[in-house]
Chains A and B, each alone.
Chain A
Amino acid sequence: MSADTNMANGGGSNLIQLLDKFDTEEILNCMQCGFCLPSCPTYRQTGKESASPRGRIALMKGVAEGSLLADAEFEANMYLCLGCRACETACPAGVPYGSLIETAREVAEQAKQEDSPLRDFLFHEVFPHPNRLELLGAGLWAAQVSGLQTLADKTGLMRILPRPMREMQSAVDTVASPWARMQRESVMEAVGEQTGPTVGLFTGCIMDVMFFETNQATARVLTKAGCEVVFVSGQSCCGALHAHAGEKTGAVELAKRNIEAFEQAGVDLIVNNAGGCGAALKEYHHWFHDDPAWQERAQQFVAKVRDISELLAELPPLVFAKELHAKVTYQDSCHLAHGQGVRSQPRQLLKSIPGAEYVEMRGADQCCGSAGIYNITNLDMSMEILDDKMKNVGRTEAHYVVTSNPGCLLQMKKGIERAGQQGQMKAVHIMDLLADLV
C-alpha cells in the first residue's frame, strides 16, 4: 500500500495498523459465489449488492488494498449489516464473516476520528459498569412504577428522546425493583440432591437490568435440573456490543474481567441465556491473538461456556409440574443458531413441554432485525425486516413466540405490537416459560 493511499484512508499510524488487521487470507477465501446472498436480511430487503455479505467483503478488500476509502459511505455499509451471521451458515468456503465485519467497523471507527457522544456514553460509561447499570435499572423501575413514563408519553416529554429509542421503549416491560434485586442470593442450591454440575450464571449487562427476572428464572430451572447456581461477583458485560461496534479495546478489557471473575469462582461450567452474549463468550480466545498468556486463560474459559439450552440437553430431561395448553413457536437467536450452532436443543425443550403444540415457523432462523442495538441505530431497516418476520410469525398462529436472547425478545414484543396481535400472542424468553412449568 502506498503512502498516498494511507493518507487517503484517513491518515494516522493507528489506522495503518488496523488495516493490517484485516485478515487478507480470510478475505481472499471469499470465492464471491453469492451463496450468502439469499440468507442476508438486508440484501433481501434492498436487492443491492452493497447490502450483501459478498458486497461488504468486497468493500473490505477494497479498503485493505487501498483502492477504496474507509469513509462515511463505507462506515454506513458496514453498519447496515445486522451481524446475524446467517451468511456464515450459507458460506461454502467457511469465511468467518462475523470477525471480518467487526474488524471493518473498527477500521471505520478509527478512520472517522470523530465521536458520537451518546454512543461513547453507552460504550464507555454505562455497559462496562455494573453499579451504574444497577442505578440505571433502579431509575428505570422508578420511572415505570411511578407512572412518570406514562406521563412522559402523554405530555410529549418522550419527544426529547431520539425517535429510535422512543419507538423501542414501548416494548419494554416493567423492570425488577431495587428491592427484588437486593433479594438475590449469591448461591442457589440444587433442588433435592445435586446431580449436575456447579454452574456460574453469566448475568450480562442489559440482560440483568431489563430481564432480571429471566436470569432468576434461568437459575431456578437450573436448580430444578440438579445444578448448584453461583452468581459470580466481579463479572461484567460480555463485550459483544463493543466488539460489533468496532470498540475492540473495550471489548478485550471486559473479557479479561470476566475471565478473572469466573476463574476465581472455580465453577464447573459458565452458563448464559443470551445468544448474543454466548457467542461472544465462546469467541474470547480469538480476541487475544497477540497475547498468548491471556489466550490460554481464555481458551479454558471458553471450554466451560454453554448456552442454557445446550446444557439442559446434556442433563437428564426436565420434570414438568404443569402442562401448557397452547401453541408454541420458536424464533432463533442468530448468534445462538448461526454463531454457536445451537438450533435443535431449544426446540427439543419446547417439544418436551407436556400439552404444548410446537409449530415450526417458516424462516425461523432469519434475523428479526434486533441485532444488538441495530434497532436503535438503523431503525427503519430494522422495522422493515421485523414486519416481514411478523408475516411468518402470524402464519404459525402460536400463542407463545419463544426466544433465546434479550434483543430478540424485545424485538418480538415490538413486532407483536406493530402487528396488532397483543391479545392473541405473547413473546417470551424460553427460560421464563420453562421456569413457570417445572
Chain B
Amino acid sequence: MNNEIKRELSAIVGERWMLDTPNELHVYSYDATPLYQAMPDAVVMPASVEETAAILKVANRHRIPIVSRGSGTNLCGGTVPTEGGIVLVTNRLNELYEIDQDNLTATFGPGLITAELHTAVEALGLFYPPDPGSMRISTMGGNVAECAGGMRGLKYGVTKDYIMGLQAVLPSGEVLRFGGKNAKDVAGYDITKLLVGSEGTLAVVTEITAKLLPLPKAKQTLVAYYNDLTDAARSVQRVIAEKIIPATMEFLDAETMRVVEAYAGIGLPLDMKAMLLIEQDGTEMQVEQDILRIAEICRREGATEVRTAETPEEGAKLMAARRAALSALARVKPTTILEDATVPRARLAEMVEQVGVIANKYDVQICTFGHAGDGNLHPTCMTDERDKEEIHRVEQAFQEIFHAAIKLGGTITGEHGVGIAKAGYLDLKVGTGGIELMKRIKDAFDPHGIMNPGKMFAKDTRRRVVVNTHECGHKHG
C-alpha cells in the first residue's frame, strides 16, 4: 500500500487513528485463534459511519482488502488479515444510543462490549440473552459478524435470534439500513439475518438494533454426575422430552473433569465419566418446580449424584467448574485449540465417544466440554505449536471430528464461525451448490472481493491441514 493511500486514510480518521508503525501492524496480525498470523498494511479506527464509508470507498477504489474487527476474540481466524490490506477497528464506535423500553430494543454501535450491554439493560430489568464465553471483552459487532452463541443458547437461541435491525456500509461506501424495530417485517429478503454471521465478508456493520426480553426473576443451578456417558446424554434428551427447556445444560467429559480438578481443586469426583450443569431461570415457582423435576429425571436416568444449589452463591460455585474448564485446559500445554463441532443433541453421546476414539487414533490429547443442551461441543486439544509433527496429527484428528459431526447430522461449527480455520470444510456442510450460491451473494455485495478476502471460502476445494495453509499467508510452519 503506497503512502498516497495512507495519506487518504489519515485525512479521513485523523493521524492519531491511522496506524502503520511496525508495532501497531504487528498487534493487529492475529486474533484469538492459535497458529494464524499475517500482517496488515494499515490499521484505521474510525469514529463514525461517515468515516467508515469513506474508508471503504478508498479501499474499493484501490482494491485493498478490508478486515473489520473489534476485540479480536474470535476463534476461527476470522480477523487475521491473511491478504494484508486495511484492518478496520470498530472499538471507537462503541456508543449505546438507546434502550427503548416501550419496544424492548437497544440500539448501539458495533464496538460496544457485550458485557456492557448486559449491565446496561439489566439495570432496567431487561435481558439480552446471548452470552459468548468472551463476553467480557467481545464486541457486539463481532458477535453479529460471527453469530456468537453462548451458554444460554438452548432456551434463548443465539445472536441472530436477537438482531432486529442493522445499519451497514457496502464496499462502495453506500450506507444502508435493514430491518428495524418492527416485530413483524417481511418486506423483501431478510438481509439483516444474512448479515448476521457473514463474518465481515459482505459489509461493515455500523449500527445494531437488538431485541430485549424481560429479565427472569429467579435462577437455580443443579449438578449431576454420571458414570456412564450415555446416561448423561439421555438425561438431556429426557428433560427436553418432558417439555422442560432449561436456560443452560452444560457438559464436561471425564478428561476435562480430571484437568479442572487438578487445577482448581473444587472437589469434582474423579471416577465419574461425565457431569451435567443445569440452570433454569424464570419465575421463582416455575424455577423451583423445574429444578425438582430435572433432578428427578437425572436420577432416574442414572446419575450417581445430583446436587441442587441452595443459594445463588452455591449456584455460582457449581458453575465455576464449567467456567474453569478453559482456564484449566489452557494451563496444561502452550497451545490450546478449541473447536466447536456440533450435532443434534440426540447424538451427543455418540459424538463425545467418537472424539475419544479419534483422539486415541491420532495420539493427541483432546478434552470435550460444551453446551449439551444444544449439541454444541468444544473438543479442545492441548498441544504445542512448536511440535510440527504433533500439530499435523491434531489437524488430521480435527478433520476426522468434523466428518464425524457431519455424519451424525451435525455441523462443522456451532458458534465460532468458519473464518479461515474451517474454510476448507464448509463444503462438507453446505455442498458445492451451497458454496456457489454463497459466492454469488458475496459478489452482489462485494464485486471486487475486498471484504475479508480468503475467509469462509477456501481458495481451492482440496482440503488442507493448518500446517499446510501456513504456506499461503501466515508465519509459523
Chain A contact residues, CB within 8 Å of chain B: 25, 28-29, 31-35, 37-38, 47-50, 52, 55, 58-59, 62, 67-69, 73-74, 77, 92-94
Pair B137/A73 contact, Cβ less than 8 Å: no
Q: With A37-B71, A49-B72 given, is the CB distance from A25 to B22 under 8 Å?
A: no
Cα–Cα distance between A94 and B263 once the two chains are bound (Å): 11
Instruction: Report B-chain residues with C-beta under 8 Å of the C-beta of A67.
Output: 26, 475
* B447 interfacial contact with A, CB 8 Å: no
Choose among A25, A55, A92 the residue that contacts B327 (Cβ–Cβ < 8 A).
Answer: A92
* B34 interfacial contact with A, CB 8 Å: yes
**A33-B326, A38-B113 known, 11 other contacts, Cβ within 8 Å:** A29-B330, A29-B334, A32-B31, A34-B73, A37-B71, A37-B137, A38-B136, A47-B45, A47-B111, A74-B23, A92-B326
Pair B27/A55 contact, Cβ less than 8 Å: yes
* Cross-chain pairs A/B with CB under 8 angstroms, 7 sampled: A31-B32, A31-B335, A37-B137, A48-B45, A49-B28, A73-B23, A93-B331
Cα–Cα distance between A73 and B384 once the two chains are bound (Å): 30
Pair B331/A69 contact, Cβ less than 8 Å: no
Instruction: Report B-chain residues with C-beta under 8 Å of the C-beta of A25.
Output: 334
Pair B27/A59 contact, Cβ less than 8 Å: yes
Instruction: Report A-chain residues with C-beta under 8 Å of the C-beta of B115.
Output: 38
* B386 interfacial contact with A, CB 8 Å: yes
Pair A38/B21 contact, Cβ less than 8 Å: no
Q: With A28-B385, A92-B330 given, is the CB distance from A34 to B137 under 8 Å?
A: yes
Instruction: Report A-chain residues with C-beta under 8 Å of the C-beta of B24.
Output: 48, 50
Instruction: Report A-chain residues with C-beta under 8 Å of the C-beta of B425.
Output: none
Pair A68/B331 contact, Cβ less than 8 Å: no
Question: What distance in Å separates the Cβ of A158 from its nearest Cβ neighbour in chain B?
Answer: 31
Q: With A28-B335, A28-B385, A35-B136 given, is the CB distance from A50 to B22 under 8 Å?
A: no
Instruction: Report A-chain residues with C-beta under 8 Å of the C-beta of B327.
Output: 92-94
Question: What distance in Å separates the Cβ of A380 from its nearest Cβ neighbour in chain B?
Answer: 14
Q: For A32, A49, A93, which residue has the most chain B Cβ atoms within 10 angstroms?
A: A49
Question: What distance in Å separates the Cβ of B328 from its nearest Cβ neighbour in chain A?
Answer: 8
Pair A35/B334 contact, Cβ less than 8 Å: no
Question: What distance in Å separates the Cβ of A390 from its nearest Cβ neighbour in chain B?
Answer: 21
Cα–Cα distance between A68 and B29 once the two chains are bound (Å): 13
Question: What distance in Å separates the Cβ of A10 from its nearest Cβ neighbour in chain B?
Answer: 14
Q: For B23, B29, B91, B326, which residue has the most chain A Cβ atoms within 10 angstroms?
A: B23
Instruction: Report B-chain residues with C-beta under 8 Å of the C-beta of A62.
Output: 26
Q: Which of B72-94 contact A (CB under 8 A)?
A: 72-73, 89, 91-92, 94
Question: What distance in Å separates the Cβ of B325 from its nearest Cβ neighbour in chain A?
Answer: 10
Residue of B nearest to A27 (CB): B334
Question: What distance in Å separates the Cβ of A259 from its nearest Cβ neighbour in chain B?
Answer: 31
Instruction: Report A-chain residues with C-beta under 8 Å of the C-beta of B19.
Output: 48, 50
Pair A59/B26 contact, Cβ less than 8 Å: yes
Cα–Cα distance between A334 and B20 once the two chains are bound (Å): 33
Q: Which of B367-385 contact A (CB under 8 A)?
A: 384-385
Instruction: Report B-chain residues with C-beta under 8 Å of the C-beta of A29.
Output: 330-331, 334
Q: With A33-B73, A34-B137 given, is the CB distance from A94 to B23 under 8 Å?
A: no
Q: With A38-B137, A93-B330, A94-B331 given, is the CB distance from A32 to B30 under 8 Å?
A: yes
Cα–Cα distance between A49 and B386 once the two chains are bound (Å): 25
Pair B26/A32 contact, Cβ less than 8 Å: no
Instruction: Report A-chain residues with C-beta under 8 Å of the C-beta of B32.
Output: 31-34
Instruction: Report B-chain residues with C-beta under 8 Å of the C-beta of A48.
Output: 19, 24, 27, 45
Pair A50/B134 contact, Cβ less than 8 Å: no
Question: What distance in Å separates the Cβ of A74 from its nearest Cβ neighbour in chain B?
Answer: 6
Q: Which of B383-427 contact A (CB under 8 A)?
A: 384-386
Pair B26/A69 contact, Cβ less than 8 Å: no
Instruction: Report A-chain residues with C-beta under 8 Å of the C-beta of B91.
Output: 47
Instruction: Report A-chain residues with C-beta under 8 Å of the C-beta of B23.
Output: 50, 59, 68, 73-74, 77
Cα–Cα distance between A47 and B31 once the two chains are bound (Å): 15
Cα–Cα distance between A33 and B94 once the two chains are bound (Å): 21
Pair B336/A50 contact, Cβ less than 8 Å: no
Instruction: Report B-chain residues with C-beta under 8 Å of the C-beta of A77.
Output: 23
- Give the size range of B's interface with the partner: 35 or more
Instruction: Report A-chain residues with C-beta under 8 Å of the C-beta of B27.
Output: 48-50, 52, 55, 58-59
Q: With A58-B26, A58-B27 given, is the CB distance from A47 to B92 under 8 Å?
A: yes
Question: What distance in Å separates the Cβ of B435 from its nearest Cβ neighbour in chain A?
Answer: 29
Residue of A nearest to B72 (CB): A34
Instruction: Report B-chain residues with C-beta under 8 Å of the C-beta of A59.
Output: 23, 26-27
Cα–Cα distance between A77 and B45 once the two chains are bound (Å): 19
Interface string of B1-35 (1 = CB under 8 A from A): 00000000000000000010111101111111110
Cα–Cα distance between A176 and B137 once the two chains are bound (Å): 46
Question: What distance in Å separates the Cβ of A256 from its nearest Cβ neighbour in chain B?
Answer: 33
Question: What distance in Å separates the Cβ of B271 from its nearest Cβ neighbour in chain A?
Answer: 27
Instruction: Report B-chain residues with C-beta under 8 Å of the C-beta of A92.
Output: 326-327, 330-331
Q: For B27, B136, B138, which residue has the most chain A Cβ atoms within 10 angstroms?
A: B27
Cα–Cα distance between A35 and B327 once the two chains are bound (Å): 11
The 9 closest A-B pairs by CB, nearest first: A92-B327, A47-B91, A93-B330, A55-B27, A49-B27, A28-B334, A34-B73, A37-B137, A92-B330
Question: What distance in Å separates the Cβ of B182 from its nearest Cβ neighbour in chain A?
Answer: 33
Instruction: Report B-chain residues with C-beta under 8 Å of the C-beta of A37.
Output: 71, 137
Q: With A49-B28, A58-B27 given, is the CB distance from A73 to B385 under 8 Å?
A: no
Cα–Cα distance between A94 and B333 once the two chains are bound (Å): 11
Pair B22/A34 contact, Cβ less than 8 Å: no
Q: With A28-B385, A28-B386, A58-B26 given, is the CB distance from A34 to B71 under 8 Å?
A: yes
Pair A31/B330 contact, Cβ less than 8 Å: yes
Question: What distance in Å separates the Cβ of B317 from its nearest Cβ neighbour in chain A?
Answer: 17
Question: What distance in Å separates the Cβ of A1 from its nearest Cβ neighbour in chain B?
Answer: 14
Interface string of B121-138 (1 = CB under 8 A from A): 000000000000010111
Q: For A31, A50, A55, which residue has the most chain B Cβ atoms within 10 angstroms?
A: A31
Cα–Cα distance between A55 and B19 once the two chains are bound (Å): 14
Instruction: Report A-chain residues with C-beta under 8 Å of the C-beta of B45.
Output: 47-48
Residue of A nearest to B94 (CB): A47
Cα–Cα distance between A55 and B27 once the two chains are bound (Å): 5
Question: What distance in Å separates the Cβ of A135 from its nearest Cβ neighbour in chain B?
Answer: 41
Cα–Cα distance between A50 and B115 once the two chains are bound (Å): 22
Interface string of B297-319 (1 = CB under 8 A from A): 00000000000000000000000
Pair B22/A73 contact, Cβ less than 8 Å: yes
Residue of A nearest to B331 (CB): A94
Cα–Cα distance between A69 and B25 once the two chains are bound (Å): 13
Instruction: Report B-chain residues with C-beta under 8 Å of the C-beta of A93.
Output: 327, 330-331, 336
Pair A35/B386 contact, Cβ less than 8 Å: no
Pair A35/B21 contact, Cβ less than 8 Å: no
Choose among A31, A35, A94 the residue that contacts B137 (Cβ–Cβ < 8 A).
Answer: A35
Cα–Cα distance between A123 and B278 once the two chains are bound (Å): 57
Instruction: Report A-chain residues with C-beta under 8 Å of the C-beta of B331.
Output: 29, 92-94
Instruction: Report A-chain residues with C-beta under 8 Å of the C-beta of B386.
Output: 28
Q: For B26, B28, B92, B386, which residue has the most chain A Cβ atoms within 10 angstroms?
A: B26
Residue of A nearest to B39 (CB): A67
Cα–Cα distance between A211 and B430 once the two chains are bound (Å): 70
Question: What distance in Å separates the Cβ of A101 from its nearest Cβ neighbour in chain B?
Answer: 15
Instruction: Report B-chain residues with C-beta under 8 Å of the C-beta of A94.
Output: 327, 330-331
Question: What distance in Å separates the Cβ of A384 from its nearest Cβ neighbour in chain B?
Answer: 15
Instruction: Report B-chain residues with C-beta under 8 Å of the C-beta of A50.
Output: 19, 23-24, 27
Choose among A32, A35, A38, A68 the residue that contacts B34 (Cβ–Cβ < 8 A).
Answer: A32
Residue of B nearest to A40 (CB): B137
Instruction: Report B-chain residues with C-beta under 8 Å of the C-beta of A28.
Output: 334-335, 384-386
Instruction: Report A-chain residues with C-beta under 8 Å of the C-beta of B111.
Output: 47
Q: Which of B321-357 contact A (CB under 8 A)?
A: 326-327, 330-331, 334-336
Instruction: Report A-chain residues with C-beta under 8 Å of the C-beta of B113.
Output: 38
Residue of B nearest to A36 (CB): B137
Question: What distance in Å separates the Cβ of B237 from its nearest Cβ neighbour in chain A?
Answer: 31
Instruction: Report A-chain residues with C-beta under 8 Å of the C-beta of B384.
Output: 28
Pair B22/A68 contact, Cβ less than 8 Å: yes
Residue of B nearest to A56 (CB): B27
Q: With A47-B45, A55-B27, A77-B23 given, is the CB distance from A33 to B134 under 8 Å?
A: yes
